Amino acid sequence: MHGRGARSSKLRRFRAARGDDGQVLLLSIAYGVIALLLVTVVVSASSIHIERKRLQALADSLAADAADAIDQGAFYRGELTGPGPGTALLLTDDGVRASVEDRLARHRALVQRFDGLAVVDASTPDGRTADVTLAAVAKPALISWVTAPWSDGIELRVTAHARAWDG
DSSP 128: S
Q: What CA–CA distance (Å, rounded) separates 1 from 112?
A: 85
3-state SS class at 143: coil
Start-to-end CA span in the chain (Å): 110
* pTM for this prediction: 0.75
Per-residue pLDDT tens, the chain, 167 aa: give them.
455 656 667 666 666 555 555 678 888 999 999 999 999 999 999 999 999 999 999 999 999 999 988 766 666 776 655 544 555 667 889 989 999 999 999 988 878 889 999 999 999 998 889 999 999 999 998 888 888 888 899 999 999 999 987 65
